[in-house]
Amino acid sequence: MKRKVVSVLVCAAMVATMAVGCGSSSSTDTSSDAAATTEEDTAAADDAAATDDAAATDDAAADGDVITIGFAQVGHESDWRTASTQSCQDVFSAENGYDLQFVDCDNDSAVQLEAVRGFIEQQVDYIIIDPIVSTGWDTVLTECEDAGIPVIVIDRTIDDSDKYVSWVGSEFKTEGLAAGEWLKAYAEAKGISELNILVIEGSTGASATIGRTEGFNEIAEREGWNIIDSQTGDFTQEGGQTVMESYCKSYEGQFNVVICQNDNEAFGAMDAMTAAGVSYGVDGDVILVSFDGCRTALDYCLAGDINAVFECNPMAAPMVEEVIQALAAGETPEAEIFVEESCFASEDNVPTIEVNGETKEMTVVTQELIDARPF
């Protein structure tokens, strides 16, 4: 069974739960010193939070109903990821009766498999996995099954095993198709007849990368667009900047579209294009597109620096909690739960697009919309 949940556009109630989210990385210093400081701060904050959580969990444990959850998170590569982590930590808090064992796998698949095995050893009640890559899962999921621990997959998909209870996430191919359909309509509205495109992909092997690439390429092939190059920026600002620096050197004057498969890559690409003297956005020579729709990206969209943003919704945790509650009640949860995605633009020249036979609205970004955004 398949279910859609409401868009984050109308999830204003979630705002209150979001202490931390997207929003700072366009100005984030990606140097190792800055990263080290952030990690120390995070570790200190985590220690303090762990002490509070432990106290609250002890109270709940006294009632005998604490639910232990292991969450093997991809890493901390993007603003989107920060929002996803925060969403889980807010929902699966000690105050809400959970003991959340969180592992940041730092984009390392081996670490992620070990994290899951660690959760099995700890005999947690449920395991949540956001799979870094979509394959290589069947053995460890069989181990979870043998241990009697239900697994819930979020965000990215697992494509080589069905040994999990439910998946909650985004339609990545649809996001890619939407970007392509918008680009076609936008180019027509602007009278641009030739599209020479550079793509900065997400992490290799991630279903988010695979789906967005598949969807966008389908439209590109149909329309006969020229995709000059497509390289991974690993879903990071630094990766986006590095790839774009090299694109600016190799393809100087040859491109008029840059598709970044997440917001942070777009921030890096903007820095690289600015440094190379390439103009982008509504008044520029290059049409810039990104995916995710975190607040900072929408700030840039409002300012006209990013032309369009295709949303990926990181607020899966409340839906995961529903799955866990269903399991705890002895019910069978839905196998697939899709979060709804919106599409955002700087200008109002493309009101709607047709994707998979459905009409999707292009929402023109406003300050009000950004202020109400939970991430």
Nearest to 233 by CA among 220, 222, 246, 224: 246
Site membership for ligand AHR, residue 300 (CB under 6 A): no
Site membership for ligand AHR, residue 235 (CB under 6 A): yes
Contact range with ligand AHR by CB under 6 A, out of 75-83, 112-120, 276-284, 300-308 = 75-83
Site residues for ligand AHR, window 116-145 (CB under 6 A)?
Answer: none
Q: Taking CB under 6 A as the rule, which mask of x and - marks residues 76-105 in contact with ligand AHR?
A: -xx-xx------------------------
Site membership for ligand AHR, residue 173 (CB under 6 A): no
Strands (E), the chain: 2-5, 67-73, 98-104, 126-129, 151-154, 166-169, 196-201, 226-232, 257-260, 287-292, 308-311, 336-339, 343-345, 352-355, 358-364
Residue labelled with tokens 């590569």 = 77
How far apart, in whole angstroms, are the C-alpha atoms of residue 295 and residue 89? 20
Q: In the bound complex, what is the minimum distance in angstroms from residue 80's beta carbon to ligand AHR? A: 3
Q: Which amino acid is at 252?
A: E
CB 311 within 8 A of CB 83: no
Site membership for ligand AHR, residue 338 (CB under 6 A): no
Binding residues for ligand AHR, rule CB under 6 A, total 12
Site membership for ligand AHR, residue 155 (CB under 6 A): yes
Give the single-character DSSP code of 286. Answer: B
Site residues for ligand AHR, window 266-295 (CB under 6 A)?
Answer: 291-292
Segment holding 186, helix H or strand E: helix 172-190
How far apart, in whole angstroms, are the C-alpha atoms of residue 307 and residue 281? 5
Q: In the bound complex, what is the minimum distance in angstroms from residue 31's beta carbon to ligand AHR? A: 20
Site residues for ligand AHR, window 195-234 (CB under 6 A)?
Answer: 208
Site membership for ligand AHR, residue 262 (CB under 6 A): yes
Residues that bind ligand AHR in the complex, under the rule CB under 6 A: 77-78, 80-81, 155-156, 208, 235, 262, 291-292, 312
